[in-house]
Amino acid sequence: MLDTSHGASATNNPKILARGLSVFYGDKQAVFDVDLDVIDRSVTSLIGPSGCGKSTFLRCLNRMNDTIPSCRVRGSLIFDDREIAEYDPVYLRSRIGMVFQKPNPFPKSIYDNVAYGPRIHGMAKNKAELDDIVEDALRKGAIWDEVKDRLDSVGTGLSGGQQQRLCIARAVATKPEVLLMDEPCSALDPIATAQIEELIHELRENFCVIIVTHSMQQAARVSENTAFFHLGNLVEFGETKKIFTNPDDPRTESYITGRIG
């Protein structure tokens, strides 16, 4: 059983609880018996080598793995006191938004990219309400000032960093409580990466943010808590500062110092 007594999980309310979570792709097991408390209104980083299970774990949180026929999930995964498997997937994804590795705006206008989710979920009674939702989301995505005069322009015409911030705005437009980010900066240049990291700092005030990152420097900069995965196992979880300066497990130290990875 993983010790989660240290770190923020001991004192704050968990937004998501994983207990004995295992994931299989056909006969191959990708994640082994993970116990993890994800704290609300904070940033949790998932780090580890490629193929260690961190993205697979992330995709369980909004049932993205449901789209893979060979995938089976066992164990307990609780969001707001209810098993994630019991939620309607469309409703669940309105509450647990996701931003992917590569910016993927729809081939629609900037406005329609952000308005898409609120329209599907009937969040606005009229155009004025929808306008307010779109503006609010674009402000939360820290891109409003750059696009407010060209909302009718196609979203795919923006720069890579702007596209990723548009995708974040699209994800927050449905007013989710949790925001999942799978390597959100890996396709971006250093300036755009810094803008996204600054945005993550702001988003933690209103959202529970979970980020998969290959960059340990990024994890150290943006997160309060860090989980280290290796070969499908959650090796260690705790406050980011402790994980990076005084880890309990020698495998964590080996990864952080570059001896494994």
Name the percent of the chain lying above pLDDT 90.
93
CA distance 11 to 216: 25
pLDDT value for 2: 41
Q: What integer best gives the mean pLDDT of the chain?
A: 93
- The helix/strand/coil state of 25 is strand
pLDDT of residue 62 exceeding 50, the answer is yes
Amino acid sitting at position 176: P
| 117 band by pLDDT with thresholds 50, 70 and 90 | very high
pLDDT value for 12: 67
Amino acid sitting at position 128: A
CA distance 43 to 10: 16
CA distance 38 to 227: 10
Where is pLDDT greater, at 259 or 87?
A: 87
**What pTM did the predictor assign?**
0.91
pLDDT value for 8: 38
pLDDT of residue 11 exceeding 50, the answer is no
